[in-house]
A = this chain, B = another copy of it.
């Protein structure tokens, strides 16, 4: 078979490929992680690449994702293209490359760099030291003699205790079978996989001949309802070996958590969902294993963080009782278990750890977020907001933590609004309004097809600043050139039908605005009720950490202007991106961090909003822009247009 040279730009990576090999797989071998939410099924359209030299076979089944111009310019989907004949040059647009999640301080910690200055007024978090949940220890055992006749096992324990004084090691019984022969065949040189979930009682779960200590990998997984992201981490160095993301294939059985739960409670539903999430994670693992050129055998542990329902579904636990009052899960804290038990592909005795949850509606993803932002280690007051269909809020410091969950509705994820969509290609993600001129930016710079959460926040802030809508979100001037009134509602035209990818205008209606105000109101009210209950105000917050899928795109100023985030000095607000994944990785690399996560979950007091009458009052008070009580938002109080004129706004988007 002829070998084809494939080069990737702008990375300038060249690899040899076989005739017929998929571009996606070739890129993976070259160390380039192409965005690929659907797992290479040709369904998500995220893996667009441009063939600039040579040719590929592209399946025409997937032309829907490409227009004529795309095709003329050589765009194809990497997952549906196979190289042929001659050498190929592929350009990978930056939007098609999977980005690292944003992590504030933790990559620094994990990379052993000197900590750079931490968030203002925050005390340095106590840095959890590097001690992966599984350590591979290479041991050269002294051979026994009549005067040193310890058993093989005690000899191993003694060698481990030399390196970890004071511990009492234990061994999984399966390791004892054949141990004597293994040790002797390998001349008393072995590698023990020592698991450290219980730090005082490290447990050997595998023994291999010779020195395999450099082949020790872990997988951190953010088990999202919509998207699953996984990282392959070298547990010897702490470095990231690969990252992969994919749609959670459970989604076909229900889009959101509630419908997922309902499906699970039908006959056979639970097994189907357990199987689906396992299959998705395995597809990510397989891709990362190929990418990092390791073997599945080298994966010794997994750490998963997800909301309570997702964690139950991963472990095969019924989520049925979560759905009905009094909303009680089977478990909040999960014992470790063999990863193979839920079908995950790694070493046959690899272990799966799940980050602990606080309640049915505050899950391991939030515990992970707290761990990742380090608020539990600081004497200063912090809050963490994770924005999604549920907005989870945590407030506290090293002394105490209170959390709650407010149903925010789907507005921030593009649901429940006329032209709403997820932050996918063609979604309007940023908006500027100057008079009747509207400029915007879309995901991947494509023709607009809808508007995503961050675009909606931007848009409403601009409408408010330009005084096109009033504080209740109603249009002030129905004769505004961009406001059109239909039989049902009034709506603002963001993009004219002539400019869109759908041939229909992208609009936002008064109802959409009302929905978003409800969503932001719920989150702010929840935060306020929690703060009030502890005798604090927003101004008492030294740090406000914001996590969530939209984190990287969110404009802080706009989020404050509409009253989603409180009006506190902007340098106290920090985006931490995917806090769930960051926390899972932290736990993977440090058993101390894992124990910290367990302490966090136990320490957090869950605050059930539905039994608090003051929540409803605060919610109603928050149904204005930015809020009924303007003194809560002093920097927004002056005419927003005037503030904008003073240079707070940027110029129009190109």
Residue ranges of A at the interface with B (Cβ–Cβ < 8 Å): 144-154, 170-173, 176-181, 184, 315-318, 320-321, 325-337, 341, 359-360, 606, 608, 610-611
Contact = CB atoms under 8 A, between A and B. Distances in A.
Given A321-B180, A326-B146, A152 B316 contact: no
Contacts of A328: 144, 149-152
A329 B184 CA distance: 12
A609 to B, nearest CB: 11
B317 A179 contact: yes
A206 to B, nearest CB: 14
A146 B321 contact: no
A320 B146 contact: no
Given A173-B335, A176-B331, A318 B181 contact: yes
A168 to B, nearest CB: 11
Nearest to A156: B331
Given A152-B330, A332-B151, A333-B153, A608 B176 contact: no
Given A145-B326, A180-B330, 14 more contacts: A144-B328, A149-B360, A151-B330, A151-B331, A152-B321, A176-B317, A176-B335, A177-B315, A177-B317, A179-B330, A180-B318, A180-B321, A181-B318, A181-B320
Given A151-B329, A151-B332, A335-B170, A176 B315 contact: yes
Contacts of A606: 149
Contacts of A610: 146
Given A176-B317, A317-B179, A321-B184, A154 B332 contact: yes
A180 B326 contact: no
Given A329-B152, A611-B146, A341 B173 contact: yes
A154 B359 CA distance: 11
Contact of A177 (B151, B316, B359): B316
Contacts of A608: 146-147, 149
B153 A332 contact: yes
Given A171-B335, A335-B170, A176 B330 contact: yes
Nearest to A184: B321
B331 A152 contact: yes
A156 to B, nearest CB: 10
Nearest to A318: B180
Leading 9 A-B pairs by shortest Cβ distance: A173-B337, A153-B331, A180-B330, A151-B332, A144-B328, A146-B326, A151-B329, A144-B326, A180-B321
A173 B339 CA distance: 11
Contact of A330 (B148, B149, B153, B333): B153
Nearest to A198: B201
A430 B202 CA distance: 55
B318 A178 contact: yes
A171 B148 CA distance: 38
Contacts of A325: 146
Contacts of A318: 178, 180-181
B177 A326 contact: no
B173 A315 contact: yes
Contacts of A147: 608, 611
Nearest to A201: B198
A345 to B, nearest CB: 18
Nearest to A611: B146
Instruction: Please indicate which of the listed interface residues A170, A171, A326 has the most CB atoms of chain B within 10 Å of its own CB.
Output: A326
Contact of A335 (B154, B172, B331, B359): B172
A59 to B, nearest CB: 41
A149 B611 contact: no
30 contacts: A146-B326, A146-B327, A146-B611, A147-B611, A148-B326, A149-B326, A149-B327, A149-B359, A149-B606, A151-B328, A151-B329, A151-B330, A151-B332, A152-B328, A153-B331, A153-B333, A154-B333, A170-B335, A173-B315, A173-B334, A173-B336, A173-B337, A176-B317, A176-B335, A177-B315, A179-B317, A179-B330, A180-B317, A181-B318, A181-B320
Contacts of A317: 176-177, 179-180
